[in-house]
Structure 1
């Protein structure tokens, strides 16, 4: 990574930290892009080199997480089954932003998705686009096992398990649970949702 790249990473992170602080102290609606840029010590125009909208700053690693998941699908190993690849893809994507559950951003995002229509709409767009793309890649990677419909069903079961588990875990921000424990609970929820697929994969491996 070059010096310029490192500077961009630092500036991007500074914007996220500043936004989280301002949203918590002043509220989402009352915080402007100019406020966030000033708190991060950059110009307002420079803000748009990192995020297109105020909503997007709540989802800073969405594209990177999707790329990481797709890389795992493209790197499928001999004998892999769709569900096991999907699980591994989620674990790789989670590594991209492993501090998400620890730094308060996930809890804030969850609250704002419930409170602010613009944030909720952006979240639905991000999640739907990612789900469709992952399903398409799975269908292409496993043409003998999945068509477009079954790949979408599998990905939907996975996304529903993750989203549902996080909804319960994050609706009580003061709940005494460290990020590692939360991730473990999400992982177990996913395995429960994908149990039929995982059992099929286990049988195929025997």
Structure 2
């Protein structure tokens, strides 16, 4: 159960994210300052730096926690769980985290995607984070399926899965799908990716 202190931190973090997104949309990313974000969220600039190192970090606030959850899920694979079954469970779990996390609003997703795709610096940051997380997930898969996958196969499996689900999610979000429709789109994307991945191991 989340304690009072942690809930307060989550509320402050969410307030900063929402304030930043409002200002980025109104003024543009480049013209929005850290001080303005802090003021909009009714906190000090010092408090801002307790949560984020810079204003671009606001848009990627959940990347580290989601990656750690994924790595933990792989490290604790179920006995006898096949690679395909684990990958499907990974995507289902990731979607559940998105829907159930108190500090993430699905309605913010189109704004985040729009901002990232419109700013070259943010696109570069997003690609860096994506490649880094994929490599770490591939390394974790190789460790946990060392008898079945070599490094190349693990990397290809992760690339196929992430490519399929990321693009499916973006299309689903931009066309205004409900959460149920988005969940179905992700599962379909996994099925398509796993159709090829199932031949491994």
- With the length of structure 2 as denominator, give the TM-score of the two structures: 0.89
1:145 and 1:37 mapped to 2: Cα distance? 50
1:157 and 1:18 mapped to 2: Cα distance? 35
- Alignment-derived partner of residue 54 in structure 1: 55
Within 5 Å, give how 1:1-206 maps onto structure 2.
1-98=2-99, 102-103=106-107, 105-170=108-173, 172=174, 175-198=175-198, 200=199
1:64·1:96 contact (CA, 8 Å) conserved in 2? Answer: no
1:5 and 1:181 mapped to 2: Cα distance? 32
1:101 and 1:46 mapped to 2: Cα distance? 22
2:18 and 2:117 mapped to 1: Cα distance? 21
Count of aligned pairs between the two proteins: 197
The one-character-per-residue Cα deviations of 1:101-151 (angstroms, maximum 9, x if unpaired) are 732x22112212221011111111211111011000000000111111110
1:165·1:185 contact (CA, 8 Å) conserved in 2? Answer: yes
Question: Whose relative contact order is higher, 1 or 2, with alpha carbons under 8 Å and at least 6 apart?
Answer: 2
1:65·1:94 contact (CA, 8 Å) conserved in 2? Answer: no
- With the length of structure 1 as denominator, give the TM-score of the two structures: 0.87
2:133 and 2:95 mapped to 1: Cα distance? 14
The DSSP-based 3-state class of the residue aligned with 2:106 is coil
The one-character-per-residue Cα deviations of 1:140-174 (angstroms, maximum 9, x if unpaired) are 0001111111100000001110122133334x4xx
1:126 and 1:176 mapped to 2: Cα distance? 26
Q: CA deviation at 1:2?
A: 3.4
